[in-house]
Structure 1
Amino acid sequence: MRPLDTLPTVTPTSGLELLKGVRVLDLTTSIAGPYGTQLLADLGAEVTKVERVEAGDDTRAWGPPFLDGESLWFLSMNRNKESLTLDIRQPEGRSILDNLLASTDVLVLNAVQEVQRKLGLDFESLRTRHPTLIHVALTGFGSQGPRANLPCYDLIAEGYSGVMDLTGEQESGPQKVGTPAADLLAGQDVALATVAALFERQRTGVGKSIDVSMVASMVRFMAPRIVPYLGSGERVTRSGGRDSVIAIYQVFETADEPITLGLGNDAIWRRFWTAVGQPAYGAAASLATNASRRTERASIVETIQGLLATRKREHWLALFNENRIPAGPINRVDQVVEDSHLLSEGLFYSVEGAAGKVPQVGLGIRFDGKSNAYRCAPPRLGADTERVLRERLGMSKACIAGLRERRII
């Protein structure tokens, strides 16, 4: 049995309606842009995904694994959208795009400035015809500077940002974060910036140019590491499952499985030692502050490790939860999706797609207690082309058939 078969199936609803009435044209591909527009769609925006004829979004080919012929990577980033196939490099296709832009609030694209200008899709080319349009450009390095026209993926952005150098054990080589962090952070920035621009437009009536850089988003994510270096000159090195600032903030082995333990302030430090039956150790004046504990970190870690190795993980986690001490398991992905708390939150569910059930990870943000954002499954390539052209542009069946024959759509 697949994990998918154990998930509750949810039915379409009107979903969240915070951005109801906002129309988004999504010309992005891969992960960062589609993730950003999925967030907007989850919040209620009407997102039309414009894809290449026949090929579609790059992630449609990312696999295996596939589910009923669809890439599971694609399915993770594209719910609540409609798919329109369109060749915007042909004059007729570009004309259709211009007509769609006339009734669009937000355009999101991940082409570099050079390509945007070539296609006439840069902000300066569009602002005269569409003065209220919010133009969101998501690229690897931003729209200015010497790297503006270079290609980029999550891996490259992580390398530039410094996060790979600080991920992993000190004796190992640099490690990529286990999820496409730069993509997802930049996608969140797309959604955040778009909502802010929509709010400003209510006041000014004028559109906005938004420039999101994957590298800049990832570098900002590194601020808690970069600022201490800038202020002290002390280089930070990889510390694996440990933290270089908080004295006790790392992975420990128990009698069976490892746990994470974070003694992040003085009160938690004392509670920990009281809970394990050694209150005098926690009350020692020589270990009263994080600075003093950092000095003695090696001996403290050795003491805690010796203690935790005497009992199994579940014993310690139960004790720490009871005493409000931050600790937890190190879950595998298969354990994450079986977590009872996350399941009770409705974070994992399935929906009915065109060919069967499709797994999803929910939005996880509640508005007035509600988090059900699902309106429709990730679309099959071009599934909504005819309907969008007919309903939004008033095209006839004959006209649409001609466009399809000439491979414009």
Structure 2
Amino acid sequence: MTTHIQHSRIEAGSHSSGPPCDALPLRQPGPGFDLLSGVRVIDLTTSIAGPSGTMLLADMGAEVIKIERPGGGDDARSWGPPFLDGESLWFASVNRSKKSVALDFSQPAGLDVLYRLVAQADIVFVNLSPRVATKLKVDAAALRAVRPDVIYVSITGFGLSGERADWTCYDLIAEGYSGIMDITGAADGEPQKIGAPAADMLAGQDAAFAAVTALYARRVSGKGRVIDVALVDSMARFSSCRIASYLGSGELPRRSGGKDSVIAIYQNFETSDHPITLALGNDNLWHRFWETVGQAELADSPGMKTNADRRRHRQAIVAKIAEILREKPRHHWLALFRGARIPAGPINSIAEVVADDALLGRGMFYQLARPGKRAMPQIGIGILLDGDCSLARSAPPALGEHTDEVLSELLGLDEEQRQALAEQNIIRRKGS
């Protein structure tokens, strides 16, 4: 790690041949975690939020059957560039270890097939507004009529009830509604969206967590549940500390470039070459910092003893620390602070993150081998079980890759029946 953080910043596009994923460890698909083995999930969702939630369940061992439109499939399949050999990398990031069935359930014959699959499922994920779900007959009431104990998971922008229930929403819209954009960005700058689909990913995680807890409760009660997750709610919860502070004090958080934490010194600083982050979260760290930089006497200066004192004098303290840190380069300060157990770190580019030996060692980034195709980059879930990281059971599926397998094995549809459905454009088969 020390060696890595002393490297100069790696610029995107600096790789002379092939994409950066070519440098990642290559893994073959394997059995993976089995904690949810025997659990079957029907995934009717598209884009990022729902697929990210069902992928978490797949990573934990559930069988996830992804139902897609025969024409184009999941919306995210077309999200690019960049593409890797014509495949969307956004789609690939949230769809491993799933089976793709291309099925048009807007037609009666297709809906019948879907209902037969739901009858054999434990959990169903849907990300349609209540009006559209009801129109397509995949609302909670319709699917619970098929299987009363099914766990129905809805992910929408605003929830299943209220005047906003049928309003359209994406991650960007949810971030705006939640307030997070208003407090993100430089003090004199515009509101900023978080640099990743945070509302989508948080809502997906909330949905997966709720689904598993409902599944656990069903073992005792035998009852299904209707789980209602909203992107705006998940994003507002993400801002809990800021919202609670406002509610209890009346002090409205403002954009500050991340330099207005309740912790007095908790921000980035420039060094003589690259910036670092520094977090002096308690009195012991405050004293250790000043001892480490050779100015121990400043720690007990008047008005500096408590965090509340230091917040009142934040501007002067920050100016003093900034003056000191600009004297030497990043690697000097990080090595020094690490030795003194003071929380500090680099501000890595994405290129540096994926080359981080510690993260690679924890299985966070790898290539997943695919027969006859280029390996696909994958990002781990960041959860180790008994010291092991998760292993994908299969690569993100091609559209309709498992249609024949699922309809044959689960529903007993023979070749003639499947071909008839294909000729009516109700299903799409592999290679068609």
TM-score of the aligned structures, taking structure 1 as reference length: 0.99
Partner of 2:393: 375
| CA positional deviation for 1:102 | 1.0
CA distance in structure 2 between the aligned counterparts of 1:397 and 1:326, rounded to whole angstroms: 62
Match of 1:282 among 270, 284, 299: 299
The question of 1:73 aligning with 2:90 is answered yes
CA RMSD for the aligned pairs? 0.9
Partner of 1:363: 381
Q: How many pairs align?
A: 409
Q: Deviation per CA, 1:70-127: give whole Å up to 9, x if none.
A: 1000000100001000000001000000111110000001001111111221112222
Q: Deviation per CA, 1:363-393: give whole Å up to 9, x if none.
A: 1101111112311000011100011100000
In the alignment, is the contact (CA less than 8 A) between 2:383 and 2:390 conserved in 1? no
Percent of aligned pairs sharing the same letter = 54
Query: Which runs of at least 4 in structure 1 moved beyond 3 Å after TM superposition?
Result: none
Match of 2:196 among 175, 179, 191: 179
In the alignment, is the contact (CA less than 8 A) between 2:115 and 2:143 conserved in 1? no
Partner of 1:17: 34
**SS at 1:350's partner residue?**
strand
The question of 1:243 aligning with 2:260 is answered yes
The residue correspondences of 1:146-225 to structure 2 (distance < 5 A) are: 146-225=163-242
The question of 1:137 aligning with 2:151 is answered no
CA distance in structure 2 between the aligned counterparts of 1:125 and 1:285, rounded to whole angstroms: 68
In the alignment, is the contact (CA less than 8 A) between 2:184 and 2:258 conserved in 1? no
In the alignment, is the contact (CA less than 8 A) between 2:288 and 2:342 conserved in 1? yes
Structure 2, unpaired ranges of 5+:
1-16, 428-432
Q: Deviation per CA, 1:34-71: give whole Å up to 9, x if none.
A: 00000000000000000001200000000011111110
CA distance in structure 1 between the aligned counterparts of 2:390 and 2:125, rounded to whole angstroms: 24
The residue correspondences of 1:295-314 to structure 2 (distance < 5 A) are: 295-314=312-331
The question of 1:402 aligning with 2:420 is answered yes
CA distance in structure 2 between the aligned counterparts of 1:148 and 1:5, rounded to whole angstroms: 44
The question of 1:386 aligning with 2:399 is answered no
- AA aligned opposite 1:215: V
Partner of 2:110: 93
**SS at 1:364's partner residue?**
coil
Partner of 1:120: 137
The question of 1:48 aligning with 2:65 is answered yes
In the alignment, is the contact (CA less than 8 A) between 2:183 and 2:254 conserved in 1? yes
In the alignment, is the contact (CA less than 8 A) between 1:33 and 1:108 conserved in 2? yes
- AA aligned opposite 1:397: E
CA distance in structure 1 between the aligned counterparts of 2:357 and 2:179, rounded to whole angstroms: 35
Question: Bigger CA drift: 171-180 or 346-355?
Answer: 346-355
- AA aligned opposite 1:307: I
In the alignment, is the contact (CA less than 8 A) between 1:43 and 1:373 conserved in 2? no
In the alignment, is the contact (CA less than 8 A) between 2:118 and 2:146 conserved in 1? no
- AA aligned opposite 1:313: R
TM-score of the aligned structures, taking structure 2 as reference length: 0.93
